[in-house]
Amino acid sequence: MDYDFKSMMNEKRQKVEDLFDFEGSKVGRGTYGHVYKAKAKDLKDTKEYALKEIEGAGISMSACREIALLRELSHPNVINLRRVFLSHADRKVWLLVDYSEYDLWHIIKFHRTSKAHKKSVAVPQSMVKSLLYQILDGIHYLHANWVLHRDLKPANILVMGDGFERGTVKIADMGFARLFNAPLKPLADLDPVVVTFWYRAPELLLGARHYTKAIDIWAIGCIFAELLTSEPIFHCRQEDIKTSTPYNHDQLDRIFSVMGFPQEKDWPDITKMPEHLTLMKDFKKANYGCSSLVRYMEKHKVKADCKSFQLLTKLLTIDPLKRISSDVALKDPYFSEEPLPTRDVFCGLPIPYPKRDFIAEDDNDTKSNKSSLARVSTGGNTSDAKRVRVMQPGQQPNQQWFTHHQPSSQQQASVQQQSSQPQQQIIFTSNPSATMHYTVSSAQNLHRY
């Protein structure tokens, strides 16, 4: 390419540092890099933004998938990717999204810490209901457009602070998301098993190869239980999460200690799971005869006859084929009784949770493998490695607003193609017979095939 032309284009290309102030405003890490709180230098733009800096020379496969998906998605409860900046000088990539002041990991931690100090601890029931409703609404939109999130956990559920979208849930971190179709491709052939252990569905732990959107529903059930009790329902010791294989004895033991051992009448296909023989060798049903979700939740003062518990049992159904879907869950009687869910999960009340702290640039927030594993195990984030290059995508469609109890037909319709570069686009459709897969080819461009 002509040197003068390249120089001219470099001068014309808008640079992130020319448009936004973010120096000294690091607030944390995403899946693949640092996150900064940013403000536009244009004084007319008063919004707060988050800038994700992709670490390394290029972009990770995880970030590549997230960009490709977020460019096409538009829903009030899914994070809004506004822009992508590519710095040719140092090969850095920046993602610009709306800034969310809170996330469920910190909100639940706030209540758990209060509990340790014997203060009022429970997350308000109206807030729990509004949070759950908006999570389900966002996931229903993803599932209707053939997207599995695959890594739902409290740290990936953001909540907007004061402003126009105050108290609105944003589902974030789509780096592990995948498109799926019927018949479902065996994703386990392509990727290591994902979903943080504490939020991982039993079919994944037993080596299921054709897992479905039911894995997201199980994770939502885990988050719901955590909101109701301020404690992770299936927590396991940190050292038990080091393995990357699907089967994990200690995590299954924790699930059975809460739910009871699965009976074949409750889950007929359990005998078809790849790790079923290992399961029967490692576990004795008699050891879990006194375990049940009813007993566990009653210990946390959630009664079996309340509608919240009844919905929880549907979300945490052991058989993935019987597990409730997001669209049916949105119509559950739990959401019809007072207090009704609201678009501001804080219900207009003062927000008691501390805002995010700025982190010094020389802070090492992954001081050891142990601390990194600890954060992942409790629903936090860490970074991943393998990196490829990607070209700069276009802009995300305008964000809609949460105004109704059911996803609109527009949300489930085809999302319009945004760019003149079809090789980088993923087209969502409501046609279940359409084939929708994507890959990274030549380590540069995202292709659909």
Name all domains of the chain by residue range, CATH numbers in brackets: 13-98 (3.30.200.20), 102-335 (1.10.510.10)
The secondary structure element, H or E, covering residue 375 is helix 369-377
Is 198 in a helix, a strand, or coil?
helix
pLDDT at 6: 61
Q: Which of 97-101, 150-154, 261-265, 384-388 has the lowest mean pLDDT?
A: 384-388
Q: Pick left, alpha or beta for residue 94 (phi over 0 → left; psi -120 to 50 → alpha; otherwise beta).
A: beta
pLDDT digits (tens, 9 = 90+) for 425-438: 333 333 333 333 33
All residues at 6 or more sequence positions from 377 whose CB lies less than 8 Å from its CB, including other chains:
196, 197, 198, 235, 236, 238, 241
pLDDT at 219: 98
The active-site residue out of 103, 151, 173, 216 is 151
C-beta separation of 169 from 135 below 8 A:
yes
Question: Of 241, 148, 261, nearest to 197 (Cα)?
Answer: 241
For residues 35-59, give the mean pLDDT.
87
Q: What whole-number distance in Å separates Cα of residue 131 and Cα of residue 134?
A: 5
| Band of pLDDT at residue 243, cut at 50, 70 and 90 | low
Count other C-beta atoms under 10 Å from residue 314's C-beta.
17
| Band of pLDDT at residue 124, cut at 50, 70 and 90 | very high
| Band of pLDDT at residue 88, cut at 50, 70 and 90 | confident
CA–centroid distance for 155 within its chain: 8
The tokens for 286 are 């008699």
Q: What whole-number distance in Å separates Cα of residue 386 and Cα of residue 56?
A: 10
C-beta separation of 201 from 317 below 8 A:
no
pLDDT at 87: 78
The tokens for 348 are 């207009």
pLDDT digits (tens, 9 = 90+) for 18-42: 899 998 889 987 666 789 999 999 9
Q: What whole-number distance in Å separates Cα of residue 224 and Cα of residue 255?
A: 15
pLDDT digits (tens, 9 = 90+) for 338-380: 999 999 999 988 999 999 988 876 555 444 444 444 454 456 6
| Most confident by average pLDDT, 108-117, 208-217, 252-261, 349-358 | 252-261
Burial (0-12, 13-18, 19+ Cβ within 10 Å), 437: middle
Burial (0-12, 13-18, 19+ Cβ within 10 Å), 389: middle
Q: What whole-number distance in Å separates Cα of residue 258 and Cα of residue 255?
A: 5
| Band of pLDDT at residue 420, cut at 50, 70 and 90 | very low
Cα Rg of the chain, angstroms: 22
pLDDT digits (tens, 9 = 90+) for 294-333: 999 999 999 999 999 999 999 999 999 999 999 999 999 9
pLDDT at 4: 65
pLDDT at 259: 98
| Band of pLDDT at residue 196, cut at 50, 70 and 90 | confident
Angle at 238 between CA 235 and CA 242, to 5 degrees: 115
| Band of pLDDT at residue 106, cut at 50, 70 and 90 | very high
What is the full DSSP assignment across 147-167?
Answer: EE-----GGGEEE--SSTTTT
Q: Which of 74-88, 187-201, 265-279, 338-352 has the lowest mean pLDDT?
A: 187-201
pLDDT at 194: 57
The secondary structure element, H or E, covering residue 327 is helix 326-330
pLDDT at 412: 44
pLDDT at 57: 64
pLDDT at 375: 53
All residues at 6 or more sequence positions from 71 whose CB lies less than 8 Å from its CB, including other chains:
81, 393, 394, 396, 418, 419, 425, 426
pLDDT at 183: 58
Q: Is the peptide bond before 422 cis (omega within 30 degrees of 0)?
A: no
Count other C-beta atoms under 10 Å from residue 38's C-beta.
23
Which of the pair, 389 or 166, is modelled with greater confidence?
Answer: 166
Is the pLDDT confidence value at 395 over 60?
no
All residues at 6 or more sequence positions from 328 whose CB lies less than 8 Å from its CB, including other chains:
none
All residues at 6 or more sequence positions from 219 whose CB lies less than 8 Å from its CB, including other chains:
149, 152, 153, 195, 199, 200, 201
pLDDT at 176: 84
Is the pLDDT confidence value at 393 over 60?
no
Q: Which of 49-63, 67-81, 102-116, 166-180 has the lowest mean pLDDT?
A: 49-63
The answer to whether 18 is a known catalytic residue is: no
Which of the pair, 391 or 120, is modelled with greater confidence?
Answer: 120
Is the pLDDT confidence value at 421 over 60?
no
Is the pLDDT confidence value at 391 over 90?
no
> Does 265 carry a binding-site annotation?
no
| Band of pLDDT at residue 238, cut at 50, 70 and 90 | low
| Band of pLDDT at residue 261, cut at 50, 70 and 90 | very high
| Band of pLDDT at residue 449, cut at 50, 70 and 90 | very low
CA distances from 183 to 16, 146, 434 (A): 43, 12, 11
Mean pLDDT for the chain overall: 79
Phi, psi of 313 (to 5 degrees): -65, -30
All residues at 6 or more sequence positions from 391 whose CB lies less than 8 Å from its CB, including other chains:
86, 421, 424, 444, 445
Q: What whole-number distance in Å separates Cα of residue 52 and Cα of residue 33?
A: 6
Which of the pair, 395 or 223, is modelled with greater confidence?
Answer: 223
